[in-house]
Amino acid sequence: MSKPKFQTVTGMHDILPQDQAYYDKIQEAAKKVFAFYDFEKIDTPILEDANLFIKSVGENTDIVEKEMFTLKTKGKDSLVLRPEGTASIMRAYLEHGFVSLPQPVRLWYYGPFFRYEKPQAGRYRQFNQFGVEIIGEADPIIDVQTILVMYSVLSDLGLKGLMVKVNSIGDDACRPLYRKALIKYLREKKSGLCAECQKRLKVNPLRVLDCKNEKCQETLATAPQSVDYLCEECKKHLKDVLEYLDELKIPYCLDSRLVRGLDYYSRTVFEIELTREGGISGGALAGGGRYDSLSKMLGGAETSACGAAAGVERIIAEMKENKTKVSFSPVPEIFFAQIGPLAKKKSLPILEDLRKAGINVGEAFGKDALKAQLGKASRLGSKVVLILGQREALNNMILIRNMQTAKQVEVKQEDIIKEVKNILKEK
C-alpha cells in the first residue's frame, strides 16, 4: 500500500478516537482536584509576543535559543506559539489587573503548547499540558500546595511509584554566590564537560546541572550544591517546605542538582517523577517551582508566586504502560432500528426526544436492512432494540425487542420514554 500524499508534520500527531478517553480522564481528574482547592480556569492565546518569553524564560535558555516556533506578521510583529504556560498567565495577571483581587489568585489551565525540539518517543512539537499558578503569596505552604495538587492528580489517575524531587536554588541575595562557586568548579573541570555544556558554562552555567550526558554526570558528582549557599531566609523557606511534605507523608528526596533552568525560578524547584521497580527512574511527569521575580521581569511589581505543569502525553504513555482503565464511549443499552422510508423520516425526532430524556441510544441510520442494524446492536452489546417499521410509523407505534430473549412488545410512540426508563430500571 502506497503512502498517502499528505501526512502529519514532523513532531505533530493526530489524537485518534481511541485515545480521546485518556485526554478526557486526565482533564477531569485535574479539574476535580483543582476545583476542590479553589483554582479557577484560565485560557490564554496560543500566540504571544516573542519578547514575553525572551524576558521571562531567558534569552540563553534552550527554549528561546532552539525551541520556539517564531513567526512574523504582516505588520512585522514577532510572535511565537507559546512554549510554556507560566509567562502567559503572569502576563494575563498583570494585564487584567488581578493584583487588585484578593490574593493569592489561583489559576489552572489545560491546552496545547509548542516546542521545536527533536521528536522522541512520547515527545512532540505540539503537546498538551495542564498546570497551576498561585500568584500573590510568599508563604512556603503555597509551594507545598502546588506540589500537593499536582501529586494528587497523578495519584488519582492511578500512577504508582511517584517521588517528589525538591531543591532550592536560592534568591537574588544568595544565588550569585552559588553561581560564582559553580562557575569556578566547572571551569576547573571543563575538559570533563560535553561540548554543549562547555557552551552553557559561558551563558547559563546552572543549565549544566540538567545535562544527562554520562561524562557530565561524573564531573558533576562533586560539584558545589546550592543548599550550601542559601541565605538564612532561603534556608528557613526550604526547611518549612520539607516539614510540610513530611506532614503530608508525600515521598520526596532532596536533589541538589535539580535547577529547572528557566530564568524566572527562585527558591523552591521540584519535579514529580515515576520510580519503577528496582528504583529505576521513569522520568519526570510534572515540575515547577517558585518564581517571585517574574512579575517584575514583565514590568509589574515584585509578586510572590509558585506554579507547576505536567505533560499530558507523557502521563498517557504511563497510563497505557500500567494498563490503566479508562471509560470510552458508554455502551448504548438501547438501540434504535428503522425499516422503510417513512420510518426513517420519523426516526430522528424520536431519537432526539430520547437524547433530551438523557437516554443513551445507538443507531445505524445509514443501513436499511434490519439484519444489518440488529448486527450492529449485537456488536455494541445493546440489551434492547426499538424497531420502527412502516406499519408502526403509520400507526404511531413502536416495537421493543429484548435482545436476550427475542421477545418483543408493541407500545405507543408517546410512551417510548416511559417504557424505556422502566426497562433500564429493571436492569
Q: Which of 262, 297, 321 is the last residue of a domain?
A: 321
Q: Decide: 403 and 417 in contact? Cβ < 8 Å.
A: no
Chosen domain end from 321, 347, 373: 321
Domain membership of residue 2 (yes or no) is no
pLDDT at 134: 97
Asked, for residue 181, whether it belongs to a domain, the answer is no
Average pLDDT value for the chain: 87
Domain identity same for 166 and 56: yes
> What are the cell numbers at 278?
528496582
- The DSSP symbol for 292 reads T
Q: What is the pLDDT of residues 101-148, one digit of tens each?
A: 999 999 999 999 998 877 666 678 889 999 999 999 999 999 999 999
Same domain flag for 262 and 386? no
Count of domains forming the chain: 2
Residue type, 174: C
pLDDT value at residue 129: 95
Q: Which domain holds residue 168?
A: 17-174+230-321
Identity of the amino acid at 54: I
* 196 three-state secondary structure: helix
Q: Which CATH number covers residue 418?
A: 3.40.50.800
In whole angstroms, what separates CA 231 from the centre of its chain?
35
Same domain, 343 and 415: yes
pLDDT digits 0-9 by tens, 344-354: 888 888 888 88
Pair 26, 107 in one domain: yes
* Whether residue 249 sits in one domain with residue 123: yes
Q: Which of 253, 286, 321 is the last residue of a domain?
A: 321
Looking at the domain assignment, is residue 214 inside a domain? no
Q: Which of 271, 264, 244, 227 is nearest to 135 (CA)?
A: 264
CB within 8 Å of 408: residues ≥ 6 apart: 387, 399, 400, 401, 402
* 316/383 same-domain check: no
The DSSP secondary structure of 61-129, one letter per residue, reads SHIIIII-EEEE-TT--EEEE-S-SHHHHHHHHHHTTGGGSSSSEEEEEEEEEE-----BTTB-SEEEE
Asked, for residue 126, whether it belongs to a domain, the answer is: yes
Beta strand 40-41 pairing with 126-135: unpaired
Question: In the chain, what is the straight-line distance between the N-terminal and C-terminal CA atoms, in Å?
Answer: 47
d(CA 113, CA 57): 15
How confident is residue 65, by pLDDT bands cut at 50, 70 and 90? low
Q: Which of 24-28, 171-175, 189-193 has the lowest mean pLDDT?
A: 189-193
Q: What is the dihedral of CA 369, 370, 373, 374, to 10 degrees?
A: -150
Q: What is the CATH number of the domain that holds 70?
A: 3.30.930.10
- Helices 17-36 and 140-156, interaxial angle, to 10°? 140
In the predicted structure, residue 194 carries a pLDDT above the cut 70: yes
- Give the model's pLDDT for residue 286: 94
Q: Is the pLDDT of residue 1 over 80?
A: no
